[in-house]
Structure 1
Amino acid sequence: MMFMNFRRIRKCHFVQLLTTCLLLCVVMVSWEELDHHVVSHVRSYTYRYLVNSYDFLNSSFAISSNRKDVSKGVDGGLVNYPYLINHPDKCGDGKSLDDVFLLLFVKSSPENFEQRQAIRDTWGNESFVWSELGVSMRMVFVLGVHPDAGRRSGVQKALLQEDQVYGDLIQQNFLDTFHNLTAKLILQFHWGHNYCPQARFLMSADDDIFIHLPNLVKYLQELLSRQSGAKNLWVGHVHRGAPPIRRKASKYHVPNDLYPWPSYPDYTAGAGYVVSGDVAAKIYHATLMLNSSMYIDDVFMGICAKAMGVSPQEHVYFAGEGKAPYHPCIYDHMITSHGHATDVRSLWQAAADPTVNHHSRGFLGNLYCTAVRVMLLCLPYYQNTYSCMAAFT
């Protein structure tokens, strides 16, 4: 009997030991992911909301006037890349400036002709915005040169032909890669400052973004009517207290020697955001004072804004990384939706239909659409687009 109990105890201990080993293996395998999603975020939020000291930005990212490497662009110094394609008269001929309500930059890759054409045919159509919405919009696509040296000449020839037809490409001589997105951001604010400084609003968007222009224009016009010129505006999908990603395998990896602090300043998702004209001028001046070594353009925008005393404002219908769910009760409020490389035309046809807002008219219509939005937005798999709060807006 004692022998049987002893064997039973040993067996129990063996099961416990085996279970412990399995748990340790799971933790070891997933530790990097756990550290990224839990530890780093806790550390980041603590720093952001308890310490919240970003005085280092002005000193750590400032361009020294004594540095000999600034003109060469070494270590993030400001570089004036030459224009390969430009349209300096897009907002006026220099003698007289057009009244521009919205200056819209679309960040595009050289080979993405189909996406650019879809945008021209739908929400990016300047004539539609003027005739249907009654405001003046100027839209340009900003891009660098193709990173593949073997394909560069052929792609560049196609770009020149495309621009000859449409006259809406702005290109500088830098490689169009992920690590040069900050160069593309600087291009936007410098071009706006030099050639379209009178624009009341400036918007930056990716070429796989869908923008509901009627809703956006209505929102910006309401801001102008409520505020004195809609000053100090920077609006989009805000990332607050976001930590730098230290995993080398990640596309967004940022090493400690580039950014040693545990939290970024608040910033908006680069997929689509809007600034007022005065903020655009401030960001332009910030790019002259701060080096551009931070290659994640969203974060660099946050650094520039923080240095100039500008804070981002959340709008629940500016999307983050995900697509908005397709439904008329969503279209009635949507501003941007991300991830539309192939379905821009069909979404535009559905979302811009004049009968869309019929679903939300009246008490019952509002109640119905609120219930639909709760079912669509208050679920985990839509967390990367509109938040649950948008359901009640």
Structure 2
Amino acid sequence: MMVNLRRIRKRQLQQLMMTCFALSVVMVYWESLDYNLMSHIKSYSLRHLLPSLDYITANLTISREEARKFSNHQYLINHKWKCADRDILLLLFVKSSPENFERRQAIRSTWGDETYIERTLGVTVKVVFALGVHPQTLERNRFQRKLLWEDERYQDLIQQDFLDTFHNLTVKLLMQLGWTHAFCAHARFLMSADDDIFVHVPNLIRYLQEVIRTGVKDFWVGKVHRGSPPIRRKDSKYYVSEEMYPWLLYPDYTPGAGYVISSDVASRLYQASLNLNASLYIDDVFMGVCANAMGISPQEHVFFSGEGKAPYHPCIYNQMMTSHGHVKDFHELWRHATDPSVESVSSGLFGKLYCTLIKVRLLCKPIFINTYPCKAAFF
């Protein structure tokens, strides 16, 4: 009897210890989750209560001379005549880093192949890669020689002499806006994308041609973040101090992973950037600040994935615009996504019903997945 009592007490003690451990893990996780959840709820609610965010623009406005220090960088590699063609539908700026040669090659041979686009889709798209210099002094010369060799062969690199780091992404955005204004202002649309983005160019081209037919103005489309709060955790890559940005929420913006703007919007964003403090190094947020200054709002498109990777399925490919987080599978995804048989999968009444059910299964999950929203299943 004594032995059994000891075993029971030992088992109870073990259960108590496991329960305490589980509760401590939950408390630590919930503290972080609760902070993020409450921050988003508070900022989102505030966004709908405030009719204007002009106070942000007013506080970030500086003189042109002060603003020039953020964009006053020399071109190391440039192609002023890249946009010599008159009728350019899309200028596609891919943000890359000096060391990411393989990613650039994959893009050139898949969705960024200008020759394929012109021959197959009948439109002119110009693809260029935006770069700074390698941040490590000892490696810089070696990578610069490689970049010069690469550009001599492909003629598609645009490089300035700033350090190519995460904290200089806003500088890279300023380079894109400045280069577009100076050398390619007549392109009807500008797209900015990361070099780990997959762009379904045929779908995108058809969509942009429809936009032209409907005469849309102030066009800015992508996945939209509305009322997002600044991240104040110092261990986060996206940490922004209160000194840098003291307000509780950001203006609406699209993630820098991939979005499209019309030429008139590109011009107005460039003009806004000439008088704004670009020390805010979250580039997509800074673009939101510029757009807010000009009274421009982003439009949600459910098949721009933002930061997420889209599910692999023909019913998704038929409407896909962008998918984020691709490095090794560019060629395979391009082959499957552009296969002519994809369109037949969703054709007809039964095909549409089948694809709706498939998209519900893939997109409408009880846990949050950072890709296309559930409502995309019904488009």
Is TM > 0.5 for Structure 1 vs Structure 2?
yes
State the distance in 2 between where 1:257 and 1:47 align: 20
2:274 alignment partner, SS class = helix
Structure 1 position 328 matched with structure 2 position 328: no
1:342 alignment partner, SS class = coil
Q: Contact 2:103/2:327 (CA < 8 Å) preserved in 1?
A: yes
Aligned to 1:135: 123
| TM-score of the aligned structures, taking structure 1 as reference length | 0.89
Change in CA separation of 1:368 and 1:83 when aligned onto 2, cut-off 3 Å: same
Q: Contact 1:242/1:264 (CA < 8 Å) preserved in 2?
A: yes
State the distance in 2 between where 1:51 and 1:226 align: 31
Aligned to 1:169: 157
1:45-64 → structure 2 map (5 Å cutoff):
45-64=44-63
Q: Report how far residue 64 of structure 1 moved.
A: 2.5
Structure 1 position 345 matched with structure 2 position 337: no
Identity of aligned residues (%): 59
1:349-368 → structure 2 map (5 Å cutoff):
349-368=335-354
Structure 1 position 233 matched with structure 2 position 239: no
1:192-223: CA deviation from partner (whole Å, max 9, x where unpaired): 00000100000000000000000000001011
Structure 1 position 250 matched with structure 2 position 249: no
1:35-54 → structure 2 map (5 Å cutoff):
35-54=34-53
Counterpart of 1:318 (choices 292, 304, 327) is 304
Q: Report how far residue 293 of structure 1 moved.
A: 1.0
Give the count of matched residue pairs.
365
Structure 1 position 197 matched with structure 2 position 196: no
Counterpart of 1:82 (choices 57, 74, 79) is 74
Q: Contact 1:144/1:171 (CA < 8 Å) preserved in 2?
A: yes
Q: Report how far residue 41 of structure 1 moved.
A: 1.3
Change in CA separation of 1:152 and 1:388 when aligned onto 2, cut-off 3 Å: same
1:184-223 → structure 2 map (5 Å cutoff):
184-223=172-211
Change in CA separation of 1:331 and 1:341 when aligned onto 2, cut-off 3 Å: same
Structure 1 position 117 matched with structure 2 position 109: no
2:72 is matched by which residue type in structure 1?
A: N
Aligned to 1:8: none
1:324 is matched by which residue type in structure 2?
A: A
Q: Report how far residue 53 of structure 1 moved.
A: 3.6
Counterpart of 1:151 (choices 114, 127, 139) is 139
Structure 1 position 34 matched with structure 2 position 33: yes
State the distance in 1 between where 2:19 and 2:375 align: 42
Change in CA separation of 1:382 and 1:47 when aligned onto 2, cut-off 3 Å: closer
1:364 is matched by which residue type in structure 2?
A: F
State the distance in 1 between where 2:229 and 2:360 align: 30
Change in CA separation of 1:281 and 1:378 when aligned onto 2, cut-off 3 Å: same
Aligned residues: CA RMSD: 2.1
Q: Report how far residue 42 of structure 1 moved.
A: 2.1
1:148-205: CA deviation from partner (whole Å, max 9, x where unpaired): 1111110110000000000000000001000000001111111000000100000000
Q: Contact 2:251/2:288 (CA < 8 Å) preserved in 1?
A: yes
State the distance in 1 between where 2:181 and 2:35 align: 39
| TM-score of the aligned structures, taking structure 2 as reference length | 0.92
Q: Gaps spanning 5+ residues in structure 1: where? A: 1-16
Q: Contact 1:322/1:382 (CA < 8 Å) preserved in 2?
A: no
1:275 alignment partner, SS class = strand
Q: Contact 1:209/1:271 (CA < 8 Å) preserved in 2?
A: yes
2:154 is matched by which residue type in structure 1?
A: Y
Aligned to 2:5: none
Q: Report how far residue 289 of structure 1 moved.
A: 1.2
Counterpart of 1:91 (choices 79, 83, 86) is 83
1:128 alignment partner, SS class = helix
1:13-46: CA deviation from partner (whole Å, max 9, x where unpaired): xxxx999998995676346513432221122112
1:267 alignment partner, SS class = coil
1:41 is matched by which residue type in structure 2?
A: H
1:170 alignment partner, SS class = strand
Q: Report how far residue 70 of structure 1 moved.
A: 5.1
